[in-house]
Amino acid sequence: MLLSIIDRESFNFAHPHYQYIATWVHNALRQLTNKHKVLARGNREQRTIAILQRTTSAFDELVAAKLREAAEGPDWEAPKVVFNNAADDVLKQLRASGTLAFPRYILEAAFPRVGRTTLQQQARIAHEEARLVAVTKMLDAYRLLGELSDEKQQQLIAALAAIISFEFA
């Protein structure tokens, strides 16, 4: 009886029923794979963000502690450091108000962004920018920037940015 149910068409890969089922299984597996990739990417990004938040807060605490050590008094406050695309006169106004303002091209030259950047690359660039800001604040805390003209300060910060961004192979 069982042998009469299995006929020659059951082994025919060109049969329309086989083709329909094979296409359905293929599409279902493709959807499953794509969903798995999306979930894995989300988990990876969450882990990366959590690690970045921990390291960023630890870095900020370290910088704050070192700035407190370098401070001349308890009421001393580190200047704000900004990298801006504004015109030179706007940068001069910011500097007059006590902000250490530098042109944005200093960062763009040192930390180039080519094409699409991943979350890790964006985090690395943000961390390098934060390091440059911290070094600038430390230089100001030790009164090393005040002796330089605005142009010399920009050259110094550009040189430091190039050094910080250098990667060994």
Tens-digit pLDDT profile for residues 67-98 = 988 887 778 888 889 888 888 888 888 888 88
Q: How confident is the model at residue 124 (pLDDT cuts 50, 70, 90)?
A: confident
Amino acid letter, residue 147: E
pLDDT average, residue stretch 42-67: 92
Q: How far is CA 75 from CA 52, 61, 68, 72, 164, in A?
A: 31, 18, 10, 8, 30
Residue 1 pLDDT greater than 50, yes or no: no
Domain residue ranges of the chain, discontinuous segments joined by +: 16-165
Largest CA distance in the chain: 101
Across the strands, what pairs with 84? 103
**From CA 35, how far away is CA 127, in angstroms rounded?**
32
Cα distances (angstroms) measured from residue 19 to each of 12, 16, 28, 78: 10, 5, 14, 71
Q: Report how far residue 158's alpha carbon sits from residue 147's, in angstroms, rounded to the nearest whole number.
A: 17
C-alpha to C-alpha distance for 54 and 46, rounded to whole angstroms: 12
For residues 99 and 78, give the distance between their C-alpha atoms in angstroms, rounded to a whole number. 10
Burial class (CB in 10 A: 0-12, 13-18, 19+), 94: middle
Q: Using the predicted structure, report yes or no on whether residue 2 has a pLDDT greater than 60.
A: no
The per-residue pLDDT for range 8-48, each reduced to its tens digit, is 666 677 888 888 999 999 999 999 999 999 999 999 999 98
pLDDT value of position 5: 55
* Residue with the larger pLDDT of the pair 121 and 156: 156
Taking the model in full, what pTM does it have? Answer: 0.72
User: What is the pLDDT, as a whole number, of residue 10?
Assistant: 62
**Which three-class secondary structure state does DSSP give residue 156?**
helix
